[in-house]
Structure 1
């Protein structure tokens, strides 16, 4: 029996025949997949939350923000901006 234990202990590749044991791979492989899942969740979760928030915005608010963007870019002047904003707010559902 001691001859077998000595042979296993002195074997250069360990008792499994392919190396000294699982070592750090035992921890690194699950940590890699946890990191991959966390990264996917961070990327796609942010997109889903952003899309859901955009769907919750009322059409009137989206129209006002589009109008404000056009005014900021210089596509329309202040008189036209205020006139269109007044029309939007007058026709907005309460």
Structure 2
């Protein structure tokens, strides 16, 4: 009797089993590494979250004031008064 030979496993079956085992362990290790990286990453402080930073509009207060005057939102008197306030002087004739 040939008990120890030919149990239905040809050379290709052994190859497929070896490749499957390697892929299985690669998947297990990859999931472990990704899980470790996700859990070990320090959370950023809530006050320093990059999406929460508000950058001031470009230019400055005088440019914004000039744009409002150019659009007609304020008249010349109010523009001169607010400009003087921004520059720290008393409003008066220019």
Q: Which structure has greater helix proportion? A: 1
Using the size of structure 1 for normalisation, the TM-score is 0.40
Which protein has the larger Cα radius of gyration, Structure 1 or Structure 2? 2
